[in-house]
Chain A
Amino acid sequence: MSTETTIVENFHYLWLIPLFPLLGALLNGLAGRPLHRRFGEKIISAIGVSLPWASFVVAAISFFKLQSLPAGAQLSDHLWTWLSIGQMEVPFALSMDALSAMMALIVTFVGSLIHVYSIGYMHQDAGYSRFFAYLNLFLFAMLVLVLGNNLLLMFVGWEGVGLCSYLLIGFWYEDLNNARAGMKAFVVNRIGDFGFLVGLFVLFWGVGGAWSDAGYSLGASYTLDFEKLRQVVAGTVEKTIWGFPVPAVAAICFFIGATGKSAQIPLYVWLPDAMAGPTPVSALIHAATMVTAGVYMVARLNFLYLLSPTAMTVVALVGAATALFAATIGCFQYDIKKVLAYSTVSQLGYMFIGVGVGAFWAGAYHVLTHAFFKACLFLAAGSVILAMHHQQDMRKMGGLGRVMPITRWTYWISCVAIAGFPIASGFFSKDEILWRAFDADGLLVPGWLIWLLGFTAAGLTAFYMFRSYFLVFTGPTAKLEHGHGDDGHEEHAQHEPEEQRPVITGVLVLLAAGAVILAFVGLPQLWMGVPPALEHFLEPVFSGAENLPRAGHGHGAEWGLMLSSLAIASLGLGMAWWLYRERKNSLPEKLKERFPNIHRVVYNKYYVDEFYQATAVRGFMFLSRACRWLDEHVVDGLVNGAGAITRALAYLDGLIDQYVVDGLVNLIADATRRAGDKLRRIQTGQLPAYLSGLALGGLVLVVLVRIFLNWNE
């Protein structure tokens, strides 16, 4: 564990990075509708696109500032103290080290490109301003997640991106299925978030104070800051919670959070459904940025994971299993976005292999390359979907390569990158991960097992990606039937799909170029003799990982693995070529008829959704119904019983009040009134009567005086 102090440079421009998108979200969110009506789409997209770019510029400036400092330094921007409880202080502070700089650049750059793309994709959509507001809000939340300097702030961003994901999946909420997909994503993510929170509490407890007879006492090291946690986390090793060491429990709980956000087994089910959202959303949130938040989190907490080989093993194994599992499903899907969705799940699995075996920088590198090539794939798919008038079934496409050359070639480059051919970036990131998995030691399972899972998945990846490529872009050109457009356009007759506007194709070209160029930051040591630039750049963040045990396979093994990766990728490509190119081969159909059961099971995603539906969802529904019954009959019964008793008492009280208290009061009043009525008659108004009374009274007085006072004596 590194205990040397880190150079922290105050840099008071960091807060601008998340501020700009927030500003855009507020502007478009609050004033979008009138602006849209008054000035049209131009002003909306001007706001929505320029602010993310501004954010990118600030991020880039911060990056260069960071570069100018010695290695291992970080920028920090303390905005205000958020919580101050006892000795604990949680600041609202942003900080940028190498890892968050990389993430911030990805988020702002790819994010801004996708904003540009959205100008074309969302053209003439009724929710134009709403879309940009959500997208900007997403960038804000993602940047808070990435730049927050403590776990709590990260959690704010974590929840924020979940919210935006929900809003954007259900963007076209008039269709119940979309709204349902959004809800599913939200609920599944909440399950993961619960894990995150529990991990937070456990870690909190582990590094902080302790319970004793005198109550809870705060430790001096009670903190949530990543930088401080890194220094004090080693102290938690001896502590146990229910017999398990604190770092393992905390790390696994955090990883449960990551499985939710980053769509790993068992919580991956929401991501394929999330494709219901508009395609730029799928590209930005569900491929390039948000889903990598789990990987980022594990990489950020590397000091915690390094303390627990168990947790590392869990991460790597789950990643490897997901990579393979999702890849098999991807081979049998017909919806182009579904293919890409399962591909994303699979690629995220690779990233978790990377961070799980201790190759944090390789995981982060795969985040970076994946952001580019997967965003490019999604956006190219979006371009195809636009051209096909929102047709997503690949069986109905074909031959689009001829009419959409730019889309085709960018898609091709991205396929090459994701499949792992050494001319594009994907090869280097994926291969580094697989090599480090193979070379890993000290995990609870042998490294080659994880490697084997990832290796098999790599072949499948090449296969299903090129399958989609051949299905969509080769063969006879699809004709558009009239009436296909669900945007209200009436087509006159059959015609060929067309290439999209430059605002769309330009973005594709940039992303594809990025997918190639990024190879240069990760050229392996084996080739260049020096460590990859990115590894060097990220090294200070993952300083603890150097001490991880390695099996120590030599260069020969590394070369061998590299070649075998290439071979299996070629095999996948060859299979796809043989089976799907030009749609000439009828073998896929025959195989489907020959093994209908296998096809059905895999096509239906192994019935995992149905399984969850039958167990978790049904169980939960039963539980909630039981709770409702309990609520209605027992709790309500108690409440109503209490109410009834009170009412009865009140009724009795009312009776007493009415008849006893009021009775007395009325009696007195009545008696007084009646007496007054009687006595009134004495006042006759007749002067003689008064005078008689006077005389009589005088007489009586005289008599009384005579009798009682006896004046004479």
Chain B
Amino acid sequence: MTPVGLVHFIVLGSLLFVLGMLCVLTRRNAVSILIGVELILNAAALNFVAFAHFNGRSLDGTMMALFIIVLAAAEAAVALALILSLQRRTRLVDVSKTGSLKG
């Protein structure tokens, strides 16, 4: 059993990122997309923490992860507000049905 190393974290982060990406790209439900974005953010945060840990346990990456968590919280708040407003307006949370950004 090999000890858990940097590669594992990176692979896990990549998986999370790809899963989040797929979720964002494929799901039509705005909330699901939000969840996908959360996954991506967390994949990034995981990478920061992992690099920080294996780079002399510096606090830089950890700080970044903290920022990302705050950012995610703010983003969730704003995004959920947008989604609520969208839902109120169109009775839908399906992004494929909303075309008001169409050029």
State the A residues within 8 Å of B (CB): 679-688, 691-692, 695
Contact = CB atoms under 8 A, between A and B. Distances in A.
Given A688-B95, A688-B96, A683 B25 contact: no
Contact of A695 (B21, B33, B96, B98): B21
B97 to A, nearest CB: 10
Interface string B13-27: 000000001001110
A688 B26 contact: yes
Given A680-B103, A681-B103, A686 B25 contact: no
Contacts of A695: 21, 25
A685 B99 contact: yes
12 contacts: A679-B103, A681-B103, A683-B101, A683-B102, A685-B100, A685-B101, A687-B33, A688-B24, A688-B25, A688-B28, A688-B95, A695-B21
Interface string B67-103: 0000000000000000000000000000110111111
Contacts of A692: 25
B24 A691 contact: yes
Q: Which of A680, A683, A685 counts the most chain B CB atoms within 10 A? A: A685
Nearest to A677: B103
Interface of B: 21, 24-26, 28, 30, 33, 95-96, 98-103
B65 to A, nearest CB: 20
B10 to A, nearest CB: 14
Contact of A685 (B25, B28, B30, B102): B102
Contacts of B95: 686-688
Contacts, number: 36
Given A683-B102, A686-B99, 11 more contacts: A679-B103, A680-B103, A683-B101, A684-B102, A685-B100, A687-B30, A687-B33, A688-B26, A691-B24, A691-B25, A695-B25
A42 to B, nearest CB: 94
Contacts of A691: 24-25, 33
A682 B24 contact: no
Contacts of B99: 684-686
Given A688-B26, A688-B28, A688-B95, A683 B21 contact: no
Contacts of A682: 103
Contacts of A679: 103
Nearest to B22: A695
Contacts of B101: 683, 685
Contacts of B33: 687, 691
A682 B101 CA distance: 11
Given A688-B25, A691-B24, A683 B103 contact: yes
B34 to A, nearest CB: 11
Contacts of A684: 99, 102-103
Q: Nearest 3 A-B pairs (CB), nearest first?
A: A683-B103, A685-B102, A685-B99
A685 B100 CA distance: 6
Nearest to B94: A687
B87 to A, nearest CB: 15
A288 to B, nearest CB: 101
B98 to A, nearest CB: 7
Contacts of B24: 688, 691
Contacts of B98: 685, 687
A679 B98 CA distance: 20
Contacts of B103: 679-685
Contacts of A680: 103
B77 to A, nearest CB: 19
A680 B30 CA distance: 24
